[in-house]
Amino acid sequence: MTNKIDPITLEVLWNRLLSVVNEQQVTLMRTAFSTIVRESQDLACGVFDTRGSMIAQSLTGTPGHINAMATGVRHFLKAYPAETLHPGDVLITNDPWQTAGQINDMTILTPVFKDTHVVGYFASTCHAPDIGGRIFSGEAREVYEEGLRIPITKLFIGDEPNHELFKIIRANVRTPNETIGDLYAQTSSNAVGARELLYFMDEFALDSIDPLADEIITRSEWAMREAIRRLPNGRYENECWSDGFDEPIRIKVAVTIEDQDLFIDFDGSSPQSSRGINVVLNYTHAYASFAIKAAVSPEVPHNEGAFRPVHVTAPPGSILNCLEPAPVACFAPPGRTFPAGGYLWGDSSCNAGKAHGLRRRSDLDLRLAWEMAFIPGALYLQPISMWRYWGTSDQRWAEYNRFPQRSRGGTSRSNRKLNPAGPTPARVTH
């Protein structure tokens, strides 16, 4: 394949690749033992190139799983470089600081071999029905109390189960059949994805998927940067509050737009808690970057390229970048507060955008950002085309108005309870 792929060929390859990763997800849902995976779809599936960059995700998935899994694959490859892997090897971890932020979330990675070399990876993250420790709550004082923590290791070695690891897992969970069954389902779905990827490569005479990945990721990054570039440069600050244990949790953010890059800094947020409501940086990045993408350019494919222009930081030891051995089991309430509240520009979003002709875009997309953050399986963000946008802002506005059941308010219900007057207006500095 040449270095430059023409748009029509790219469109065919892109849609074929989406069908592969969607089949991975369908297999996972049909073979899972637990209802949380099979019915609630608390899962993520994705395909990665040889460098560990996510190329595409399946049809559904939660932001905390999809984006955190995309970051977590780099940790897998650091622990097990491609040259240390063999056909039939399968890797696993539930380390909160390396993947999805709590030990109930199991991530499994499978290398895809073509002849004797790795040509890609398939990964999936699922919420396990139980992982031992305390009953799921925020009462733990350390992560060690929250259940069995598995470092990055091999779940299967050359197609053979790692029986010692399976015995340890089975002995430490309350639902051994469901928990172990889901691990087999994840492994099987990754294998189906790998099989279909090899068929896909043979069908189109591809020796490597890296050139295709480069084209998809580069175009996605360009589209995301163009969307950010249309926003006015400046620094936008806001804060909100969430329930805590001993005291309320402060979420403070400063968003800086510099041409085609967007920087999100949570400096000034509350310190990490002694209870299990802390958030790891992986998860903070996952939901913050998702909210930006949903607000700024939801039609861009959800892959490595969409993440690159968005830079997320939080002070180590804060509620949004907790340090080991902080408890993290109930990370979701604070972890979903910051994208859900329209934090980016607050109530001043329309006022700031009005002068730049952005009123409708910000008014629509910022609302969609917080709404989608709470919808299970909300990442229906695959575009119609890789080489053209879905439509104009006016078209998206018309589409939005087709659904009157959606809330038209600018704040979430939880935010209105904490502050009946609405969120604190953002401070904008140009």
DSSP 8-class letter at 232 = P
Residues, the chain, total?
430
Query: Does residue 42 surpass a pLDDT of 80?
Result: yes
Specify the DSSP element, H or E, that contains 155: strand 153-157
Average pLDDT of every residue of the chain: 80
Q: Give me the residues paired with residue 43 across strands.
A: 126
Q: For 80-175, where are the alpha helices, taking DSSP H only?
A: 163-172
Average pLDDT score over residue span 69-81? 94
pLDDT at 333: 65
Amino acid letter for position 204 = F
SS3 of the chain: helix, strand, coil, percent, to 5: 40, 20, 40
pLDDT tens by residue, 294-314:
888 888 888 999 989 999 999
| Residue 236 CB coordination number (10 Å) | 25
How many CA atoms, within 13 angstroms, populate the side-chain half-sphere of residue 272? Answer: 25
**Cα dihedral sign for 154, 155, 156, 160?**
positive
Report residue 118 CA to chain centroid gap: 24
Position with higher pLDDT, 370 vs 269: 269
Instruction: Report the candidate in 335, 362, 329, 348 with the shortest Cα–Cα distance to residue 266.
Output: 335
Question: Is the dihedral angle over the CA atoms 165, 167, 168, 169 positive or is it negative?
Answer: positive
Q: For residues 308-325, give the mean pLDDT.
A: 95
Q: What mean pLDDT do residues 173-185 have?
A: 97
Q: Tell whether omega for the bond before 383 is within 30 degrees of 0, i.e. cis.
A: no
In the predicted model, is pLDDT for residue 22 greater than 70? yes
Percent above pLDDT 70 for the chain: 76
Q: Which of 141-145, 164-168, 190-194, 345-349 has the lowest mean pLDDT?
A: 345-349
Q: What is the pLDDT of residues 357-371, one digit of tens each?
A: 333 333 333 333 333
pLDDT band at 337 (very low <50, low <70, confident <90, very high): low
129-147 per-residue burial string, b: 16 or more CB within 10 A, e: under 16: bbbbbeebebebeebeebb
Q: pLDDT band at residue 330, thresholds of 50, 70 and 90?
A: confident
* CB neighbour list of residue 116: distance below 8 Å, 6 or more residues apart: none
Q: What is the tens place of the pLDDT at every residue in 96-120?
A: 999 988 999 999 999 999 999 999 9
Q: What is the CB neighbour count within 10 angstroms for residue 356?
A: 12
Catalogue all structural domains in the chain, each as residue range(s) with its CATH number.
7-208 (3.30.450), 230-429 (no CATH)
Q: Give the pLDDT score at 302.
A: 87
User: How high is the pLDDT of residue 12?
Assistant: 94
87 CB contacts (<8 Å, ≥6 apart)?
113, 158, 159
Average pLDDT of the segment spanning 340-354: 39
**Structure tokens of 222?**
């360009």
pLDDT at 159: 94
Return the pLDDT at 336: 55
